[in-house]
Structure 1
Amino acid sequence: MDHSAVLARYDRDMRENATPDGPGARIERAGAVVRQVADAHGWNGVLWSDLDPGSADRAIQEQIDRFTGLGRGFEWKLYGHDRPGDLGARLTSAGFRAEPEETLLIGETGRLALDAEPPAGVRLVRVTDPAGVDLVVDVHEKAFGTDGTGLRHRLLARLAADPGTLVALVALAGDEPVSAARMELVPGTRFAGLWGGGTVEAWRGRGVYRALVAHRARVAAAHGCRYLQVDASALSRPILQRLGFHALSTTTPYLHGR
């Protein structure tokens, strides 16, 4: 993989020319900043920027003013290769709070190891209705210890408005949901994003997460997607790299008013 070329394509297709991630969201372009504005349950934040030391502080304040005026907390999604190099420090000085850093991993579907299957007694079920969404949210809350209200809202809205671009899966051991994940297809690009992969503690280390990645990658390949993108935690990064993903950058959420 040509890391520089793929990263440039990712920045162009998925960030600078981003499309809304749900029916209640819209993309706004303000100078050298691209942001998404959504309702209170959706994702609000900055997707891309191309700033320099002379314009960065003003642009940061403009985003604060925009989202504060809407009554929204928001995220500035900062990548390790974004400019200027001290943008993270500038965000912190402006009142943002940094969340843990993740690794931007990208894999080519034609070169990934896609033969992983779930362990015995576990089956993967595609989510197509509110009952399935409830199972995904249940896993999310148990695996990550966070409230799943916003996730439930976004999944239900996406299934209702554009089900063809969402692949949500739950892994069931009997009738017990033990892992869940989703993939978002992005029409007009060669990319698909893997999101939300989480496994309840008692089932970690048994290959369920690996099987969910492989299943989604096979679906992406069938839809003609060349690349898969993941914002990987330290826990999932080695699993994904063994499957053939490459580390291209880092990403850190900087939160304001949340």
Structure 2
Amino acid sequence: MHVGEIINREFITFKPQTPLLKAGKVLESKGRGQALVFDEGKFRGVLSKDTFIGKSSLVFETPAEDLQVADVMEENLEYAGIGDDVFDVADKLLTQKSVLDLIPVKEEEQVVGYVSSKEYTKLFIEKYDNQFKVGQLMQYNPPTVESYVLLDKVIKELKTTGERKMLVLSGRNLVGIITLKDLSLALFSCSQKNTTHTCCELNAEDIMTRNLKTTTPNERAEYAAETMIQNRISCLPVQNPALEGMLTRKDFLKAFEIKG
């Protein structure tokens, strides 16, 4: 099976000089987390919520209206070819050094789309019916943070560990999750003039997502995958009933390594 069979060709595009606020509003209105950046027909990089962590100091210090897409886009990328095997690209996506959760796909040296963990999650549902339990793929000892921890410390921890999300605890109780989307929205808010809060004043509880969907170690993995797709989320805390781990869309890539 080739990447061309699962490629996402319906992508949003921006120019490097597009104002970042405008780009962010477009992505939010479309419910998308990334866009491809082209300049005069040539591919330049990817704008994604994932890139905001690496550029957080710039976003902290610069008014949002002064930032452009070029200031925060990711340019150092790996690529896949339209005819590459899906198992090989799954391994590349799982091990790539970039913070991005996608790989641009080229056809005749032109970028024509991308594949991400979302496309692989859909493929997992099709290929691996009743073959995996959540406990076989999930991350044990997931990254956590107490609800009172300040935002700058959360960002430093994510940078240090390379994680994309953290579960928020109040004592032993799971109360929320912080994703890169939550962080990018907070950074946008802080960088705008006349904001009522500064990032220095915010803590994990202020920006986290509440009312979480969860799963259990014994649930069939494709059911958990369907929950993610249907609710447009990228991870599920795993409880039994205490917190045991976290299952992300990227964890489904492990199945392609095992079966490949």
Higher helix share: 2
The two structures have a TM-score, normalised by structure 2, of 0.30
TM-score by length of 1: 0.30
Q: Identify the structure with bigger relative contact order (alpha carbons < 8 Å, sequence gap 6+).
A: 1
